[in-house]
Chain A
Amino acid sequence: MKIQALALVALLVVACNRQSSPQGNGTASEPSQAAGTAGVAERAVPAVPAPADVGASERDASAIAALERMGGYLRGLTTFQIRGETSRDEVLDDGQSVEFGAVVDMIVQRPNRIRAEVTSDRKHRLYFGDGKTFSVWARRMNYYATIPAPATLRELADTLADKYDLELPLVDLFYWGERKSLDEIRGASDIGASQVDGVTCEHYAFRQEGADWQVWIQQGDYPLPRKLVIRTTTDPARPQYTATLAWNLAPSYDDTAFTFVPPKDAKRITLVETAATATH
């Protein structure tokens, strides 16, 4: 619309000028300025880059081994607390990306307990898994839904994604290092040492179908993921997701932290199963 408006103005000026031409040099700047404005508007339309070729990369065995080690270490953690800062690009129909930030606070007690709070400008959600049930609570709207929970967090992540199209925050934490996800990786590189929030990490880059991603793994005896960057390669705009994680491996919490007790005025609504939602 902006382009059209600019073009309209340009046309008017040019049309007026043509009427009065041939004109002295004194007005020569007028049409060129107008044409220049229209030109800028046209150039503002973004070029669409071609998707990258995923197949051409090499697979560094040490980078894969680092993922396995990190995954194994994460699975060995009985309890942990994370504060994550995330940003996620949303691509509009015309290819423009806008970024949304969020903060994730999460406490996990294996095998089956989780409490996570996600706060962004637009959404405020709390997730509770107490081993028996899983609840999601939209705090500001004061709606919640509760479903039965499977035995482990890994299964919970599966169930929520497959059945309810709901992604647990930082869900990779529950999958990393598994053979299935490692097999997806076509390119793996060790980029080198890198500081994340003052912690020395090793920086790795991976490629798989639909995504180029990077993870910064803490060096030493605690191979924790400190930062994650995922670039979606299926969209020409190549939107990016970033998460920076601060870890607490000895969190203090009450067992009740994992149990959702609905506030008196909260309303229970349903969590729709994907089959019912996917009517597109």
Chain B
Amino acid sequence: MWKVRRLVACVAMFAVLPLAITVWAQRGSRGAARSNVSRPSSSSVNRNVDVNRNVNANRNVDVNRNVNANRNVDVNRNVGVNRNIDVDRDIDVDPRYGGGYGCCYHPVARTAAAVTTAAVIGSMVYSLPSSCQEVSVNGLTYQQCGSSWYQPQFSGSSVTYIVVNPPQ
């Protein structure tokens, strides 16, 4: 019986604390299906998407075990996994809604998109940080996000943003 108690105690140590694992991972896209057979494939394959994935694994492992002469074994197991996958959000809708249609055939862009506080002048991003304001200066359109300035442009059919110096 002492062995059983030890087992129960050991499992209970972990069972009492719900094992909450939150992972934020950014998954890129390695390419889309080509959408024509008449043009060289390279032009359409290289478009990448950023996926913001939130994996919340809340795991309750409750093992209630009674071992006695009658051999009664109850295992109550509760495993819940909440997964949230956002693909290809943002760029297009409204920059303020956040998310991120994707990234990047531009390695710098990925970095800049991930670390919004350090926008590198001249780099291109596919999504803006939150709290941006559209500003027109000398007929040109910018997005001002804190101290960083972005100039929107079309890269193919996608709207992307170049990090620029504050306009004079």
Question: Does B154 lie within 8 Å of A171, measured CB to CB?
Answer: no
Whether B41 lies near A210 (C-beta < 8 A) is yes
Total contacting residues, chain B, CB less than 8 A:
69
A24 to chain B, nearest CB (A): 7
Classify chain A: how many residues form its interface, as a range.
Answer: 35 or more
A20's partner among B4, B31, B37 (CB-CB below 8 A) is B4
Interface: A52 (CB within 8 A): no
| Closest residue of A by beta carbon distance from B9 | A16
Q: How far is the CA of A86 from the CA of B37 in the complex (A)?
A: 15
Judge whether B34 and A232 touch: CB under 8 Å: yes
Cβ contacts under 8 Å, A88 to chain B: 32-33, 35
Which residues of chain B (103-161) have a CB below 8 Å from chain A? 105-107, 124, 134, 136, 141, 151-160
Q: Which residues of A contact B4 (CB under 8 A)?
A: 20, 23, 27
Smallest CB gap from A278: residue in B: B105
Q: Which of B12-47 contact A (CB under 8 A)?
A: 14, 19, 21, 23, 25, 27-39, 41, 43-45
Q: How far is the CA of A24 from the CA of B70 in the complex (A)?
A: 13
Of residues 229 through 246 on chain A, the ones whose CB sits less than 8 Å from some CB of chain B are 230-232, 234-235, 239-241, 243
Q: Is the CB of B37 within 8 A of A23?
A: no
Closest chain-A Cβ to B96's Cβ sits at a distance in Å of 11
A140 with B94: CB separation less than 8 A: yes
Q: Give A45-67 as 1s and 0s: 1 = Cβ < 8 Å from B's Cβ atoms.
A: 00000000000000000000000
Say yes or no for A165: interface residue by CB 8 A criterion: yes
- Of the listed stretches A107-115, A192-200, A248-256, A269-277, chain B binds A269-277
The answer to whether B37 and A172 touch across the interface, beta carbons within 8 angstroms, is: yes
- Residue contact A100 to B34, C-beta cutoff 8 Å: no
> Does A82 reach chain B (CB closer than 8 Å)?
no
B41 touches A211 (CB 8 A): yes
Among residues of B, the one whose C-beta sits closest to the C-beta of A243 is: B35
A190 at interface by CB-CB < 8 Å: no
Quote the shortest CB–CB distance from A96 to chain B (angstroms).
Answer: 8
Contact: B153 with A124, CB < 8 Å? no
A26 within 8 A of B: yes
Once bound together, how far apart are the Cα atoms of A2 and B69, in whole Å? Answer: 39
* Residue numbers in B under 8 Å from A136 (CB-CB): 154, 157
For residue B158, which residue of chain A has the nearest CB? A123
Answer whether residue A13 sits at the interface, using C-beta atoms and an 8 A cutoff.
Answer: yes
A90 in contact (CB, < 8 A): yes
Question: Which residue from chain A places its CB closest to the CB of B77 in the assembled complex?
Answer: A33
Q: A90-B49, A171-B39 are in contact. Are A2 and B33 (CB under 8 A)?
A: no
Q: How far is the CA of A251 from the CA of B141 in the complex (A)?
A: 37
Chain A CB within 10 Å, residue with most, of B30, B136, B141: B30
Contact A171 B36 (CB under 8 A): yes
- Contact A122 B45, beta carbon cutoff 8 Å: no
Q: Which residue of A lies closest to B5 (CB)?
A: A20
Please tell me if the beta carbons of A241 and B153 are within 8 angstroms of each other in the complex.
no
A-B pairs, top 9 by smallest CB distance, nearest first, are: A175-B38, A239-B33, A16-B10, A20-B7, A1-B23, A267-B141, A241-B33, A165-B156, A20-B3
Show 7 A/B contacts (Cβ-Cβ < 8 Å), sorted by A.
A1-B23, A2-B57, A118-B157, A122-B88, A178-B38, A208-B37, A232-B41
